[in-house]
Amino acid sequence: MFEWIQENWVTLAVPAAVFLAFCIVGLWARRVLYKRLNKLLIKSGWGGREILVQTSRGPFFFWFMLLGASAAIKFSSLSDEAQVLAGKIIGSIFIISIIWLLLILTNRLVNIFLEEIKSPRPPGRFVTNGLRVTILMLGVLILADYWGWPLTPVILLLATAILIAVVASRDIILNVFSGFEIAAARNIREGDFIKLSTGEEGYVIDMTWRTIKIKTPDQHTVIVPNSKLVRETVINYGHPLKKAEKPFRFYTRLHLKELTGLKAGNLTELVNILKSAPDSVIYYHTHHFLEEHQFLTPEPSNDFALWVEDSLDDHVLSEKLANIDTFAYFSLEELKSTIVSVIEKYIAANPASKKAKAENDFHFIKSNSVVIPTPYFASDLREFVEVLRKITIDSLYYHIFESRLRLQKISNDFSVWIRDSFGENDLADKIDGLVPYTSTIETMRSFIIQNIEKRIK
């Protein structure tokens, strides 16, 4: 072996010297080039500067080594066939190193970009893996072409696999790219209150690579595909407002009418029965009457005033009874006492009262109320106003007017919650001032919604 080296040292020394020369040039070129490249990237302020420099610094010198090896082979004593084969192998190693570098750069640089746009992790992984697969497929095709392998079968196989994968996961792919579009646009973020043109609304509680989860005012979770979110018109009301310590629970109530069997044909009979009538009777003929007729007669009235007007043809007493402000009283007992007092004073001044026809007797009805919880809650004013758009008139009446009988003061459930939870005294006072005599309940609904929307904008 030693003798063979002595005889062929020139043949070995020349390729080795060429290879060493390329390595020295590579070290010098890397030092000069990367020094200038680093300065240029620092001026640009690009966030991927360090990754690009650190990742490509090693492969750059490795490429000079491959170039040196290729040149050394040209000065070697290898046969032409051996030189061609060695060149092919070195070229393949070079292509593989390029692919390897691109894979690393793709992973790191794409992650930096996705962090800048605050993309959710699953879409980021999907994009990164998709680029990796694309680079690998291109690398395989380049190597196959470099070695002269037939490309048609390879291309057909890759195309078939891609087509099958796309068809099988078309919905997933569409949702993923829609999720990437949403993340890049930054128009919707977790915590925003959004409303879709199809009716879904609520706070965004989670954003994934395929869907967005919305918590609705009735405490349900709606899962919306990202592709639907991109297609539909979305109103974004922004981030949550101040949360109440105790959410507002909306209730409604039903009234079951029940005939008492009692009836009156004149004022004396009417006032005598009224004196012993239970609160459920007084409620039905005053509060419930007003609620039933509020669309047609948004003015102070009650069943007693209407009967005196229509059946007894007594306009004076009817007006006196109609002028009793039902909602100025915090108890039905006090309201009953006032009605009885008005009628008794009138009888004392007008003892010859008229008698109604038998078919026009006043029939006393009592109201059996059943309070029912609705599925709706509100933790802030935005949720509150969205629920107001949905609840029934019965629920509005229960919280605005019937609440006075429960609270025993000139206020209502809405105002109390708004004042206690948020300190919005002005807004609460405006709602306190609502009366059913000057507008319908639907008009009151609009009034409350408009005033709350002005406050939260």
pLDDT tens per residue across span 294-348: 554 445 478 899 899 889 988 899 989 988 888 778 788 899 999 999 999 999 8
Burial class (CB in 10 A: 0-12, 13-18, 19+), 156: exposed
Give residue 296's pLDDT. 47
Where are the chain's structural domains?
2-168, 189-236, 248-456
- Calculate ∠ Cα 283-359-338, nearest 5°: 30
The two structure tokens encoding residue 10:
């020139």
The two structure tokens encoding residue 92:
């393949």
Give bridge partners of residue 341 from the DSSP assignment: none
CB 301 within 8 A of CB 309: no
The two structure tokens encoding residue 196:
């879709």
Give bridge partners of residue 266 from the DSSP assignment: 355
- 3-class SS of residue 221: strand
**φ and ψ of 248, to 5 deg:** -85, 125
The two structure tokens encoding residue 367:
């109201």
- HSE-up of residue 329 (Cα within 13 Å, Cβ side): 17
Residue 6: other Cβ atoms inside 10 A: 8
Q: Does domain 189-236 have CATH number 3.50.50.60?
A: no
The two structure tokens encoding residue 219:
């405490």
Q: Give me the long-range contacts of 139-143 (CB less than 8 A, separation at least 24).
A: 139/95, 139/96, 139/98, 139/99, 142/95, 143/92, 143/95, 143/96
**φ and ψ of 207, to 5 deg:** -125, 120
Distance of alpha carbon 87 from alpha carbon 71, whole angstroms: 9
Give residue 22's pLDDT. 85
Distances (CA, A) of 262 to 98, 343, 366, 403: 99, 18, 10, 29
- Amino acid identity of residue 86, one-letter, is A
CB 255 within 8 A of CB 368: yes
- HSE-up of residue 362 (Cα within 13 Å, Cβ side): 28
Give residue 272's pLDDT. 92
What are the strands, taking DSSP E only, across 116-227?
193-196, 201-207, 211-215, 221-225
Crossing angle of helices 49-74/2-44, nearest 10°?
150
Distance of alpha carbon 400 from alpha carbon 413, whole angstroms: 6
Pairing of strands 221-225, 193-196: unpaired
**φ and ψ of 424, to 5 deg:** -85, 75
The two structure tokens encoding residue 353:
């009262």
The two structure tokens encoding residue 63:
């490429």
Nearest to 177 by CA among 219, 109, 220, 227: 227
Residue 153: other Cβ atoms inside 10 A: 10
Distances (CA, A) of 388 to 219, 255, 442: 15, 21, 11
> What b/e string do you get for 159-170 counting C-beta neighbours within 10 Å, with b at 16 or more?
eeeeeeeeeeee
What are the strands, taking DSSP E only, across 335-388?
362-378
Contacts (Cβ under 8 Å, ≥6 apart) of 284: 255, 257, 303, 365, 366, 367
Per-residue pLDDT tens listing for the chain (457 residues)? 555 555 555 566 777 888 888 888 888 888 888 888 877 777 766 667 777 778 888 888 888 888 888 888 887 777 888 888 888 888 888 888 888 888 888 777 777 666 665 555 545 566 666 777 778 878 887 887 778 777 677 677 767 766 676 666 666 667 676 776 776 667 788 878 888 888 788 888 888 767 888 888 777 888 888 788 777 888 777 766 778 889 999 999 888 888 999 999 999 999 999 999 998 898 888 877 666 655 544 454 788 998 998 899 888 999 899 888 887 787 888 999 999 999 999 998 888 777 888 788 999 999 888 889 999 999 889 889 989 999 998 899 889 888 877 777 778 899 999 999 988 899 999 998 887 666 778 888 999 999 998 888 6
The two structure tokens encoding residue 374:
């609705």
